[in-house]
Amino acid sequence: MTGTKDQRRRANPYLPARLDYAEIRIQSSAKLFGSDMDDPGLTRISGAVIVPDLHDEDEESICSVEGIGLSITGEPTPEITILRAEAVVLDLDLIQDPHETLDADSQELEAFGCLFDLEGGVGLHPDLEQMIEGSGRHVVIGERVRLAPAWRGLGGVGRYLFGRMLPLICCDPVVVAAQPFPLDVTRDEKGNADKESLKHGLSQIRHTCRSIGFEPYKDDIWIMDPNSIKHERSIAKLERQLSLPKFAS
């Protein structure tokens, strides 16, 4: 793999592959017209971070690293998906009834109804407005973020990549919300989560969320103010910890 001397010097030797040529890819979809079940004010977003396998002829392919990707596609240069994220963006200027829209979409999204002023209109709940610094008309709800196993436990790779992806999901969110829940917990044959595994997983993911600026709001919903300096500083700190080239924002 090629790269500048500075990139090579600063590359983290503990990462399973360098991120020099990683790409963030975003797809979005929204309804053109509304109906009882669909609201054009809701945009569904899917994002991925892709690392191409650009190994030299005398180097071993990084595809051989166990757990290197969530998926590997393409020939002759394989593309390795190391992170996937799913989110929805609500446009408060377009959406008719935030709670009804979320409820019609899924039970999971219905829980985020506490973000909105259900009695006074389609804006944010007054309690939430007091907790954030900025203003805007877009609310981002992070549904799922999954990182490939080989990249976990290395000092915040997943947090950093999601932080870099967020401005591409929505360039001007007034607030970002999530319901922290571990996706990979031990389950029995009936699909019930092991209590100890779930407790440990919840503790870990809440710590992760807090480290990039999220804080508890209501009913297991956590929020992050993207206009706060805390989030920006946390991403810059992760960048330094991972010995990555500085991102000029």
The SS3 assignment for 175 reads strand
**pLDDT (tens digit, 9 = 90+) per residue, 84-118?**
999 999 999 888 888 888 888 888 899 999 999 87
pLDDT computed for residue 25 by the predictor: 97
- Identity of residue 56: D
| Bond prior to 182 in cis (omega within 30° of 0) | no
**pLDDT (tens digit, 9 = 90+) per residue, 203-218?**
888 999 999 999 999 9
15 CB-near residues (< 8 Å, 6+ apart): 151, 154, 157, 242
pTM value is: 0.86
pLDDT computed for residue 6 by the predictor: 42
Q: What is the mean pLDDT of residues 13-25?
A: 87
Token duo for residue 134: 């900025």
How many angstroms separate the CA atoms of 185 and 209, rounded? Answer: 18
Q: What are phi and psi of 120, to 5 degrees?
A: -95, -5
Query: Is residue 2 scored above 60 in pLDDT?
Result: no
Give the pLDDT band (50/70/90) at residue 10.
Answer: very low
Q: Who has greater pLDDT, 187 or 243?
A: 243
**Among all chains, which residue has been given the structure tokens 């994220």?**
85
pLDDT computed for residue 120 by the predictor: 63
Query: Is residue 225 scored above 50 in pLDDT?
Result: yes
Query: Is residue 62 scored above 60 in pLDDT?
Result: yes
Query: Is residue 74 scored above 90 in pLDDT?
Result: no
The SS3 assignment for 180 reads coil
How many angstroms separate the CA atoms of 198 and 7, rounded? Answer: 39
pLDDT computed for residue 192 by the predictor: 73
Contact 231, 213 (CB under 8 A): yes
pLDDT computed for residue 146 by the predictor: 95
